[in-house]
Structure 1
Amino acid sequence: MSGMRSYGDPCGVARGLDIIGERWALLVVRDLLLGPRRFNDLLGGLPGVSPNVLSQRLRQLTEHGVVHRRDLGPPTRVHLYELTEWGRALEPILLQFGRWGSQSPQSPEGTLGIDSLLLSIKAAFDPARAPELAGSYAFHIDADTYLADVADETVQIRRGPASEPDATLTTDIGTLRAVCGQEITMAAAVKSGALRLSGDEDARRRLTDLLLAPFTPAPQPAAH
């Protein structure tokens, strides 16, 4: 398919790598986990990839049944790329891989995109905290909207409009990175006007706790 190389090994690991082992393939899947995206959106979220390589990876993933291309037709003539049901089965694998990769001793390079920031919430979510964080929360980040629903010991996050969320956060990606990176506190961002929170006080607190959980250092045991 599309000239892809094969390991020629019947092991499930090798067969999986035949499909998603090419450079950029897994990152394309990552950026589709929260919902469909247009080609230019994917290109913007993967700053190191060329349009030709991205087109090739999308074509290969589509041929293998991991990604589906949906044509919206006139007058928009826009193509949306989304994961198939089989493609979505990669989510727990990618989240676990992200947990493993975050422990790398190498210093991180580059900046986290909005999808990566929100997927960090899913990767770090503690099911035991679901009762105290339960609710529906909207994130308006630049021109994109995301909805996080916490219920039944899980958090589900998707790209798209939110209907009457309990609390809403509105900001830009730069401010969000600064807050999550602990370069500025949430309170300071709100005071400056760079970030807005709406909803009742308890819902705003739950949204804040949910957002910052992956980026809050775990308490260290007391020395004896």
Structure 2
Amino acid sequence: MKRRDYGQYCGLARAMELVGERWALLIVRDLTVRPRRFTDLLEGLPGIPTNVLSTRLKELEQAGIIERQLAPAPQRGVQYAFTQAGHDLEPALLALGRWGATQLGEPRPGEIVTPESVTLSLRAVFDPAAAADLTASWEIRHPDYILHAVVTDGHLEAGVGPTPDKPDLAITFEPDGLPSYRALVQAAKCGLVKLEGRRTLLQTFLRVFASTEQDR
């Protein structure tokens, strides 16, 4: 499959040539959160044909955005991870995700939420100014996933899985609809979450991870 060439000497055009093909940015989204094996990417991107995933991974690897690594034990085989060029793409990806969130209406039939998409939402809405000098950790628990958000002196580390140590506050929620970040915020504001730990950190969470100015 030939990569699209716009024939323009322009940074945006070049970026679209590298990551603008169908499914490419969602693959990048998932690899932004953590390295993934081929089968992991297939599981997190239901609907993507295996040949398309193979092609996109090859294109991203040729572009120097991702690289192959040996998966750590107890996993086996090869996993895909970001190169430095891939990590440099994350701020643009977060900005695009923030803008896209403003365009979301009601969920459409068949749409899903993945742990990677919620993690990216946490990173995208994180407000460094509101978190200045803050050190706190949260664990978000849902029947389908567990996420962590750890802020150390105003710097965020968010990912899939539990916190490395016991969280300052664990937030457990079971939304009626899609288990998205928006659903988490709505449930927390309505008191429809179970809290374990420093309960006052719920309001801190809502302030630091506010999706809009009105949320703050």
TM-score tier, shorter chain, comes to 0.7 to 0.9
Residue equivalent to 1:45 = 44
Secondary structure at the aligned position of 1:90 is classed as helix
Query: Unaligned 5+ residue runs, structure 1?
Result: 191-196, 220-224
Instruction: Tell me the TM-score normalized by structure 1.
Output: 0.75
CA contact (8 A) 1:167 1:207 kept: no
What is the CA-CA distance between 1:115 and the residue it aligns to?
Answer: 1.8
What is the CA-CA distance between 1:7 and the residue it aligns to?
Answer: 2.3
What is the CA-CA distance between 1:166 and the residue it aligns to?
Answer: 2.1
Residue equivalent to 2:121 = 120
What is the CA-CA distance between 1:104 and the residue it aligns to?
Answer: 2.9
Secondary structure at the aligned position of 1:155 is classed as strand
Distance 1:75 1:107, change over 3 A: closer
Distance 1:64 1:141, change over 3 A: farther
What amino acid does structure 1 have at the position aligned with 2:50? Answer: P
Question: Which of 177, 197, 214 does residue 211 from structure 2 map onto?
Answer: 214
**Residues of 1 paired with 2:63 and 2:208: CA distance?**
35
**Residues of 2 paired with 1:71 and 1:52: CA distance?**
22
Distance 1:129 1:218, change over 3 A: same
Residue equivalent to 1:180 = 184
Residue equivalent to 1:193 = none
Distance 1:38 1:7, change over 3 A: same
Deviates more, 1:159-168 or 1:175-184: 175-184
Instruction: Tell me the TM-score normalized by structure 2.
Output: 0.77
How many residues get paired?
Answer: 211
CA contact (8 A) 2:116 2:160 kept: no
Distance 1:188 1:139, change over 3 A: closer
**What RMSD in Å do the two structures reach over aligned CA positions?**
3.3
**Residues of 2 paired with 1:149 and 1:181: CA distance?**
17
Identity of aligned pairs, percent? 36
Larger Rg: 1
Distance 1:77 1:150, change over 3 A: closer
1:93 maps onto 2:77 in alignment: no
Residue equivalent to 2:196 = 198
